[in-house]
A and B are shown apart, each in its own frame.
Chain A
């Protein structure tokens, strides 16, 4: 990359996240990336808080779901001339310094999509119930895509603009994570996993997946297949 500007856009969808949103946005901004914050219809003043920072700020008039918010942010970023797109969680689970790790294979053109995996190192701690749920999700993904993925539900990912344009996210809610994996396989995109840190705080745990949500995701995916 000699002298050509590479525009990196980090998409951070959020919903009622006043407590940690400013920290999260600031940590990514501090590293010099473009941040696209997408308000998925928050009912508190998360939007106003985000507006005080130098981010691109979009807002869904009604709550559609994290998948929809990501798709909105990605479409916007592509329109802004993004070369690379990163997805990043707003709740403080992700570490901004991992973004450079995600971008490396894309810059070297060894992959079209880079997926963060929390199982490639022992730095992350995870409650056992979550671990079991994720193992089940792994099996489901293996059945539907034919591939064993290392981490099937990690919000930390990076795409080239070309890959982002090809991938269609129709699942508005949490099933989008599995849908993205299916799309990668369907489109024969080159993908690679890199180890990333995921921090489980009390705060993010309360907002995290529960068994009922997992069942909901399975149903969403099944309905999607009927289309």
Chain B
């Protein structure tokens, strides 16, 4: 691994951590996705750009760069989807809970000795 790759990986990891811990919002997610999509389209239209960028970064072929970017894109999307699912889980739980409390049945014959002080005297 050369120095450029090392630094780049460090920057990518930092950005990912920073993004997920601070900046996250629906709008920023969409911007990211949009940005990714645009970059992908540009590279597909002008493959030489990918080759130039790849050479600059010391990666190899433009196709390799495309692959890395695409992999990152897919991982990013999977994380988003997973977090959406977790959020859905939470709201689902809230609904089921609210419904169960609404339909709660009171005991028919309430126990009339839940007063521990009286009971123990």
Contacts and interface: CB of A to CB of B under 8 A. Distances in A.
B100 A61 contact: yes
A223 B119 CA distance: 46
Nearest to B89: A172
Interface stretch (A27-35, A123-131, A184-192): A27-35
By size class, the interface of chain B is 20 to 34
A79 B96 contact: no
Contacts of A8: 114, 116
A222 to B, nearest CB: 13
B86 interface: yes
Given A33-B111, A172-B93, A56 B106 contact: yes
Contacts of B105: 51, 56-58
Interface in A46-61: 51, 53-61
A63 B105 CA distance: 19
Interface string B25-61: 0000000000000000000000000000000000000
Nearest to B90: A170
Given A6-B116, A68-B93, A172-B93, A59 B100 contact: yes
Given A54-B109, A54-B110, A227-B86, A5 B100 contact: no
Given A32-B111, A54-B108, A72-B97, A3 B103 contact: no
A124 to B, nearest CB: 27
A6 B93 contact: no
Interface string A74-88: 011001000000000
A4 B104 contact: no
B97 A32 contact: no
Contact of A7 (B86, B97, B109, B114): B114
Nearest to A5: B115
Contacts of B106: 56
A7 B110 CA distance: 12
Contacts of A56: 104-107
A64 interface: yes
21 contacts: A2-B117, A3-B118, A5-B118, A6-B117, A32-B111, A32-B114, A33-B114, A54-B109, A54-B110, A56-B107, A57-B104, A57-B107, A58-B105, A61-B96, A62-B92, A64-B92, A64-B93, A68-B93, A68-B96, A76-B101, A223-B86
Interface of B: 86, 89-90, 92-93, 96-97, 99-101, 103-111, 113-119
